[in-house]
């Protein structure tokens, strides 16, 4: 079946094939640097006779720039003084990004205190001759000292007394003023009239302007209309002021397409061409009427193809014929840049228009690197070395200069070497209209003053001039600060006298030639993100039309197939007749029968159990490395069959294209991660438990299914896999791949069927020696009770639901918040364990954020996700749909404010639920999780943020938590207090990555250990020495109570302990020191711009059940080694022990009559097997989180006495990635 047999629009593909020039652009999207850089080096190389002239001119310009420091902008000097690699530089950036938008004074004061109190501002005093920098440093010294010392009783100096009188309000005013002053360095005016007026003096010196109306990308239709109105007003003002000077000699405007439409994304070409194109055309017609230039700014790489479609439509439009003011911006850091220029030059020829092309180096470099790493793409769309971008810039400049008959080149650069090279490339006979240079307002004027004032090298220079209020400045300001502060930035290096002039003007072509295209050694390709440990799963670049075409073809093939699933036994056929198979329907379109499933009978279950029991020893005896290689091979096979699996996930589970890609990648990552972990096992020390039952959910029918299976098999256990009733087909496909990889049939058997029959029979059978379950809290408790009733220590790993909350304070950027809320709540139709259920908004910003959220939600598309244009798909079945609709109706009946997105007619074919927002008054109003696209909103006052965390903890659930704040102190406080397994900061709270954000909750949200974490496989072993953790982990010293107990054992404890007992206890203590996890923090690998870590914290309160004092002391030792408090049942022996212990331990040990009723987080048991079984049943019968009973073998497993907590921080949230930008060449 070919691509022609499906609807191209459903894959966001053009209706007709692209021409050869467009295909070349797509083909070079992510070319390897060793392939694409050498041709650019040759294209950029100057003739020998020109190289010396370029060197001399560049040297003269740099010397002139350095020789007159008074002309250096305050911002240049500021960024030199406060490097982005310093604590103060980062604090400045974060403060600048957030302060001006904070509406309430209390939060503004907390933000200032947070950013300034730890800075060493005194060290910067007097280091810069710039008045701007010294004024800023004095201010920071004053505020920093005030914030740091405000709680002290006496302040010794008059200055301190002045600060004490002023307090935070004085600082707030001062910092607000400082940030506004900083903003004026970058902004030409608060509105276009002010900008035109302020620019007059500069124009007289020979400059011209291209004005940019500042603002974030539109999130809503209302945003887009506001920006459109601003552009219209600006064009009219610029045009009237220009007075017919023309495109070249007059001022112009630059527009951002993302500001004019909230869905200017690759997946929405129909809407872009139908809705955005007319708006841009209207602006062009208006600009034409005044004969001024209009440039379309470049944005993220994944929007490039769409912007070229718009450019072609405008260039070929007859109503715009004869106008030479249509401009387009090309980013030289993109590997596609030369091919984009070929296309634009050809377009100019075809249209008969002379097009303007502004050549820039690029402003989103760090974001492009991060996005490619997160998505696991085959390469980067940008160069990893600054010198390669410089070479690309020169090669592109030559191409533009050679096409001046059809192109008006506009060279935007602050680099003296680039400027000098272009002047000599172009030749000496410059005339106005031949080409021009451009620079950013507040940054480039000191360099270009030497050009516009010179007779010899005079050229037209246009200033890119932002216009807007200080509130709209933030994102732009931080981006400029980051670019200037980058170690490789010419603007940064020019003011650093330690950098010799010769180094500044070095020819980038020669340096690039020496490197021969070698990528930056500190920026690994996405596939190599985890180093030698394992290969990252391969992603699919859905912004690439070729990739979408391949997936569309896979979907078309899938639509013509009927898939089959049935019991997959070791060496027997299913006992039921094929006629008993039931259909599996597409939840998005019930007329689409995806396939049929024959469910297992109880006879099949018995056959499978016997086979699994028989193969347990042979599979356990396989060399761990051999088992690991098989599991890793299964991951490779999934990648091989990726398009087919993606298509099946779309049809069977209603997944969107991006969700299906992520599903596949997670399955592959699980296989490779667990294979790498298990390869280090030793069969003598790591003993499997035996046959393991894997019960997987329908919401991740490939990823979680494969993760459970891969873990159990890698640990040496045979698997009985029971997939969700709704999604057996993709599970069957996965089993076939595991078997193809080398897993024996008996070691992996598939048993599809209802949980009430097939699942219950398997859970209740003594031959099942471990259970892995992902699903509801209620079902997990049923399984726990069943397993406990059987007797014996049967591991149960349960990952269940959550009442997941996101806390947003007033320092957060509303646009980021809304984007992350939409993704966290409505992506996957809200059918993720991690999905956001309750948004807690600080009252000061709640109305604004909710208005933006409502507008953003209205822009979403809901429907059959086989169409890539659909954002939200169906819920899984009619039962889920009915339960969700019942909840919405109940909340409406109770008077809650409910906002819903309307459903289109096409949704009638499937089980869809409209994205819904419900305002509530308290978290306690929600008694259970609503597993779908329903978001509850709770407002809170700034002073009550601690109470919000207490309410979250009181719910009993502890899966995921999101926080949006720029106040580190606030983030750290929440992280310390919140009882949740996964916390996400300034990002969405879904999509945990294997080994990067190990996933799993605590309390009613799960038992642990975390999937994709270092402890997981060890829970599937009967005996284990424990996980070998990162040697770079930060481990605290011995806890004081633990050491106090050891001292007591050697001293006062001898009153009740024999000599041999003391030695045994000391041996146990030595073992606990080695294996102790509590207090340990692991820094985990991951993409740039993120900080991912895993902490181990005490469970809290454990109980000790023992019949003698030595056993109780051992239990106390284990509890204190893991940082837990311990309680014993009230009896004479326990009371006697308590009386003998040192007073320093009284807060850690207690004796209670009804400790079980009061609740505990784990039970340490020393006694007979029958008694242990009885205790397990007692624990399972309670209405409480699943509580582990841990026995000494001979030590207690300390991994079961801690909670694992993952923290994922988006370190680039304030506008950019400081660590990447300061990495150097």
- CA atoms in the 13 A half-sphere facing the CB of 833: 33
Say whether pLDDT at 1068 is over 90: yes
CA Rg value for the chain: 33
pLDDT, tens only, 1189-1201: 999 999 999 999 9
In the block, tokens 């620019």 appear at 199
Cis peptide before 954 (omega within 30 of 0): no
Say whether pLDDT at 70 is over 50: no
**CA-CA distance, 1183 to 375, in Å (whole number)?**
41
Say whether pLDDT at 506 is over 90: yes
Say whether pLDDT at 829 is over 90: yes
**CA-CA distance, 308 to 328, in Å (whole number)?**
9
Is the dihedral angle over the CA atoms 1184, 1190, 1196, 1199 positive or is it negative? negative
Measure Cα distances from 827 to 575, 706, 832 in Å: 40, 22, 9
Measure Cα distances from 1104 to 385, 1064, 1185, 1211 in Å: 59, 18, 18, 43
CATH topology of domain 561-794: Aldehyde Dehydrogenase; Chain A, domain 1 (3.40.605)
**CA-CA distance, 234 to 575, in Å (whole number)?**
76
Residue percentage of the chain with pLDDT more than 70: 88
Tokens describing residue 1057: 């302990």
Helices 416-426 and 386-401: angle between axes, nearest 10 degrees: 20
**Beta strand pairing call for 687-688 and 1021-1023:** antiparallel
Say whether pLDDT at 73 is over 60: no
Greater confidence, 767 or 99?
767
Q: Which segment of 131-140, 225-234, 1090-1099 scores lowest on mean pLDDT?
A: 131-140
Contact 678, 613 (CB under 8 A): no
Rounded average pLDDT over 747-758: 97
The secondary structure of 873-897, three-state, reads CCCCCHHHHHHHHHHHHHHHHCCCC
**CA-CA distance, 688 to 770, in Å (whole number)?**
10
Q: What is the pLDDT of residue 1223?
A: 66
**CA-CA distance, 750 to 757, in Å (whole number)?**
15
Q: Which segment of 158-167, 342-351, 380-389, 894-903 scores lowest on mean pLDDT?
A: 158-167
Q: Is residue 1135 helix, strand or coil?
A: helix
Q: Which residues lie below 8 Å from residue 1043, measured CB to CB, with a gap of 6+? A: none
Q: What is the pLDDT of residue 28?
A: 98
Measure Cα distances from 1178 to 956, 1048, 1157, 1171, 1174 in Å: 20, 34, 11, 11, 6
Please, what is the end-to-end C-alpha distance for the chain in angstroms?
Answer: 48
Contact 644, 558 (CB under 8 A): yes
Q: What is 1029-1206's CATH number?
A: 3.40.605.10
Q: Which residues lie below 8 Å from residue 201, measured CB to CB, with a gap of 6+? A: none
Q: What is the pLDDT of residue 488?
A: 61
**CA-CA distance, 1178 to 1103, in Å (whole number)?**
14
Contact 556, 3 (CB under 8 A): yes
Q: What is the pLDDT of residue 1186?
A: 97
pLDDT band at residue 161 using 50, 70 and 90 as cut-offs? very low
Q: Do domains 561-794 and 1029-1206 have the same CATH topology?
A: yes
Q: What is 805-1005's CATH number?
A: 3.40.309.10
Q: What is the pLDDT of residue 474?
A: 62
In the block, tokens 């062009």 appear at 284
Listed residue (1011, 1020, 1015, 1013) closest to 715, CA to CA: 1020
pLDDT, tens only, 27-37: 999 999 999 99
CB atoms within 10 A of CB 1006: 29
Q: What is the pLDDT of residue 180?
A: 60
Tokens describing residue 892: 């409406």
CB atoms within 10 A of CB 26: 17
Q: What is the pLDDT of residue 82?
A: 59
According to the per-residue pLDDT averaged within each range, which of 176-185, 872-881, 1023-1032 is highest? 872-881
Q: What is the pLDDT of residue 132?
A: 44
Contact 734, 703 (CB under 8 A): no
Model confidence pTM above 0.95: no
154 CB-contact burial (10 Å; exposed 0-12 / middle 13-18 / buried 19+):
exposed
**CA-CA distance, 997 to 957, in Å (whole number)?**
19
Spell 510-542 as b/e; 16+ CB within 10 A means b: ebbbebebebbeebbbbbebbeeebbbbbbbbb
Listed residue (726, 689, 692) closest to 1022, CA to CA: 689
Contact 95, 116 (CB under 8 A): yes
**Beta strand pairing call for 589-597 and 563-565:** parallel
Q: Which residues are catalytic?
A: 799, 833
Greater confidence, 152 or 295?
295
According to the per-residue pLDDT averaged within each range, which of 486-490, 837-841, 1032-1036 is highest? 837-841
pLDDT band at residue 165 using 50, 70 and 90 as cut-offs? very low
Mean of all residue pLDDT scores within the chain = 90
**CA-CA distance, 1128 to 1105, in Å (whole number)?**
7
**CA-CA distance, 965 to 115, in Å (whole number)?**
12
Q: Which residues lie below 8 Å from residue 117, measured CB to CB, with a gap of 6+? A: 144, 147, 148
**CA-CA distance, 365 to 380, in Å (whole number)?**
10
**CA-CA distance, 1196 to 1116, in Å (whole number)?**
11
Measure Cα distances from 191 to 291, 466, 763 in Å: 21, 10, 69
Q: What is 27-67+184-522's CATH number?
A: 3.20.20.220
Q: What letter does residue 807 receive in the DSSP assignment?
A: E
Using CA atoms of 555, 558, 560, 562 in order, give the dihedral in degrees to the nearest 10.
-150
pLDDT band at residue 3 using 50, 70 and 90 as cut-offs? very low
Q: What letter does residue 1122 receive in the DSSP assignment?
A: T
Tokens describing residue 175: 């910092």
Residues linked to residue 1006 through DSSP beta bridges, in sequence order? 799
pLDDT band at residue 457 using 50, 70 and 90 as cut-offs? very high
Contact 1093, 1082 (CB under 8 A): yes
**CA-CA distance, 1151 to 1136, in Å (whole number)?**
10
In the block, tokens 């180093």 appear at 531
Q: Which residues lie below 8 Å from residue 688, measured CB to CB, with a gap of 6+? A: 616, 619, 620, 715, 716, 717, 1020, 1021, 1022
Longest CA–CA span in the chain (Å) reads 104
Say whether pLDDT at 215 is over 90: no
Q: Alpha helices of 150-220 — where are they, by DSSP H?
A: 158-184, 192-204
Domain boundaries, the chain: 27-67+184-522, 74-183, 561-794, 805-1005, 1029-1206
């Amino acid at each position: 079946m070919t691509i022609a047999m499906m609807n191209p629009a459903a894959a966001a593909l053009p209706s007709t094939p692209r021409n050869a020039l467009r295909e070349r652009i797509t083909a070079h999207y992510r070319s390897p640097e060793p392939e694409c850089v050498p041709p650019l080096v040759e294209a950029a190389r100057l003739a020998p006779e020109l190289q010396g002239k370029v060197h001399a001119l560049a040297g003269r310009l740099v010397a002139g720039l350095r020789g007159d420091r008074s002309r250096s902008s305050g911002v240049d000097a500021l960024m030199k003084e406060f490097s982005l690699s310093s604590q103060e530089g980062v604090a400045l950036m974060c403060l600048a990004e957030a302060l001006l938008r904070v509406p309430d004074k209390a939060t503004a004061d907390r933000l200032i205190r947070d950013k300034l109190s730890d800075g060493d501002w005194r060290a910067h005093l007097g280091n810069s001759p710039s008045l701007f920098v010294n004024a800023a440093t004095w201010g920071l010294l004053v505020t920093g000292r005030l914030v740091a010392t405000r709680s002290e009783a006496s302040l010794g100096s008059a200055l301190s007394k002045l600060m004490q009188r002023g307090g935070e309000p004085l600082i707030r005013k001062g910092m607000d003023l400082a940030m506004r002053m900083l903003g004026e360095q970058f902004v030409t005016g608060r509105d276009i009239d002010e900008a035109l007026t302020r620019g007059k003096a500069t124009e007289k010196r020979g400059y011209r302007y291209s004005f940019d109306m500042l603002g974030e990308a539109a999130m809503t239709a209302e945003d887009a209309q506001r920006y459109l109105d601003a552009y219209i007003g600006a064009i009219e003002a610029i045009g009237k002021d220009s007075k017919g000077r023309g495109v070249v000699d007059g001022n112009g405007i630059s527009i951002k397409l993302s500001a004019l439409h909230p869905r200017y994304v690759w997946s929405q070409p129909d809407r872009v061409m139908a809705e955005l194109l007319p708006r841009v055309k209207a602006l062009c017609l208006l600009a034409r009427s005044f004969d001024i230039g209009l440039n379309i700014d470049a944005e993220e790489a994944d929007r490039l193809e769409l912007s070229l479609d718009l450019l072609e439509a405008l260039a070929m439009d007859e109503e715009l014929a004869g106008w030479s003011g249509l401009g387009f911006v090309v980013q030289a850091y993109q590997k596609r840049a030369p091919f984009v220029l070929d296309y634009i030059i050809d377009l100019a020829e075809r249209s008969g228009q002379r097009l303007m092309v502004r050549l820039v180096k690029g402003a989103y470099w760090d974001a492009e690197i991060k996005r490619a790493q997160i998505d696991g793409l085959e390469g980067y769309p940008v160069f990893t070395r600054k010198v390669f971008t410089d070479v690309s810039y020169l090669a592109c400049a030559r191409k533009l200069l050679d096409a001046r008959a059809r192109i008006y080149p506009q060279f935007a650069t602050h680099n003296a070497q680039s400027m000098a090279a272009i002047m000599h490339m172009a030749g000496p006979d410059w005339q106005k209209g031949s080409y021009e240079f451009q620079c950013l307002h507040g940054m480039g004027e000191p360099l270009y003053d030497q050009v516009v004032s010179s007779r010899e090298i005079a050229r037209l220079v246009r200033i890119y001039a932002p216009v807007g209020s200080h509130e709209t400045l933030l994102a732009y300001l931080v981006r400029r600060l980051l670019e200037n502060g980058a170690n490789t930035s010419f603007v940064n290096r020019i003011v650093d006298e330690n950098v010799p002039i010769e180094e500044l003007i070095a020819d980038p072509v020669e340096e690039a030639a020496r490197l021969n295209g070698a990528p930056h050694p500190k920026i690994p390709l996405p596939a190599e993100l985890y180093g030698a440990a394992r290969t990252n799963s391969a992603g699919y670049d859905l912004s690439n039309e070729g990739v979408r075409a391949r997936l569309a073809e896979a979907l078309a093939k899938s639509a013509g197939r009927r898939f089959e699933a049935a019991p997959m036994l070791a060496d027997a056929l299913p006992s039921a007749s094929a006629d008993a198979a039931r259909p599996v329907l597409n939840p998005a379109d019930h007329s689409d029968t995806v396939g049929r499933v024959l469910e297992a009978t109880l006879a099949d279950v018995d056959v499978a159990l016997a086979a699994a029991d028989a193969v347990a020893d042979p599979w356990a005896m396989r060399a761990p490395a051999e088992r690991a290689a098989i599991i890793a091979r299964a991951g490779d096979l999934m990648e091989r069959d990726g398009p087919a699996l993606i298509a099946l996930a779309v049809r069977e589970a209603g997944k969107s294209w991006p969700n299906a890609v992520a599903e596949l990648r997670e399955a592959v990552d699980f296989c490779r991660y667990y294979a790498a972990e298990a390869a280090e096992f030793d069969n003598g020390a790591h003993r499997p438990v035996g046959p393991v039952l894997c019960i997987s959910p329908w919401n991740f029918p490939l990823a979680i299914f494969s993760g459970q299976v891969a873990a159990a098999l890698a640990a040496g256990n045979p698997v009985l896999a029971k997939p969700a009733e709704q999604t057996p087909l993709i599970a069957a496909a996965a089993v076939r791949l595991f078997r193809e990889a080398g897993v024996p049939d008996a070691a992996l058997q598939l048993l599809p069927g209802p949980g009430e029959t097939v699942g219950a029979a398997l859970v209740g059978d003594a031959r099942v020696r471990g259970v892995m379950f992902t699903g509801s809290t209620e079902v997990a408790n049923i399984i726990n009770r069943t397993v406990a009733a059987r007797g014996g220590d049967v591991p149960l790993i349960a990952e269940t639901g959550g009442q997941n909350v996101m806390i947003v304070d007033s320092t957060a950027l509303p646009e980021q918040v809304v984007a992350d809320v939409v993704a966290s709540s409505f992506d996957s139709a809200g059918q993720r364990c991690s999905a956001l259920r309750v948004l807690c908004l600080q009252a000061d910003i709640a109305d604004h954020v909710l208005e933006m959220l409502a507008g953003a939600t209205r822009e979403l598309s809901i429907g059959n996700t086989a169409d890539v244009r659909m954002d939200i798909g169906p819920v899984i079945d009619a039962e889920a749909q009915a339960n969700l609709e019942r909840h919405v109706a109940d909340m409406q009946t109770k008077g809650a404010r409910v906002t819903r997105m309307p459903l289109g007619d096409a949704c009638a074919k499937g089980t869809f639920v409209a994205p819904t927002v419900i305002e509530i008054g308290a978290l306690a109003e929600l008694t259970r999780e609503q597993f779908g696209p329903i978001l509850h909103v709770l407002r809170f006052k700034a002073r009550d943020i601690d109470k919000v965390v207490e309410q979250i903890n009181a719910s009993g659930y502890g899966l995921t938590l999101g926080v949006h704040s720029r106040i580190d102190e606030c983030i750290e406080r929440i992280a310390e207090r919140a009882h949740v397994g996964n916390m996400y900061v300034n990002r969405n709270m879904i999509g945990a990555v294997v080994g990067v954000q190990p996933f799993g909750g605590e309390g009613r949200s799960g038992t642990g250990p975390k999937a994709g974490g270092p402890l997981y496989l060890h829970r599937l072993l009967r005996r284990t020495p424990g996980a070998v953790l990162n040697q770079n982990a930060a481990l605290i010293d011995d806890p004081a109570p633990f050491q106090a107990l050891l001292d007591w054992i050697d001293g006062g404890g001898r009153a009740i302990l024999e000599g041999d007992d003391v030695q045994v206890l000391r041996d146990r203590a030595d073992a606990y020191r080695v294996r102790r996890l509590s207090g340990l923090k692991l820094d985990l690998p991951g993409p740039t711009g993120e900080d991912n870590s895993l902490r181990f914290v005490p469970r809290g309160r454990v109980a000790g059940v023992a019949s003698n004092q030595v056993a109780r002391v051992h239990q106390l030792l284990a509890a204190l080694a893991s940082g837990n408090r311990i309680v014993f049942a009230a009896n004479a022996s326990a009371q006697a022990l308590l009386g003998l212990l040192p007073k320093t331990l009284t807060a850690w040990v207690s004796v209670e009559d009804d400790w079980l009723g009061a609740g505990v987080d784990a039970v340490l048991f020393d006694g007979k097997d029958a008694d242990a079984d009885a205790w397990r049943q007692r624990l399972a019968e309670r209405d409480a989180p699943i509580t582990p009973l841990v026995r000494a073998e001979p030590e207690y497993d300390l991994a079961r006495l801690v909670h694992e907590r993952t923290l994922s921080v988006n370190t680039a949230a304030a506008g950019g990635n400081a660590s990447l930008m300061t990495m150097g060449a």
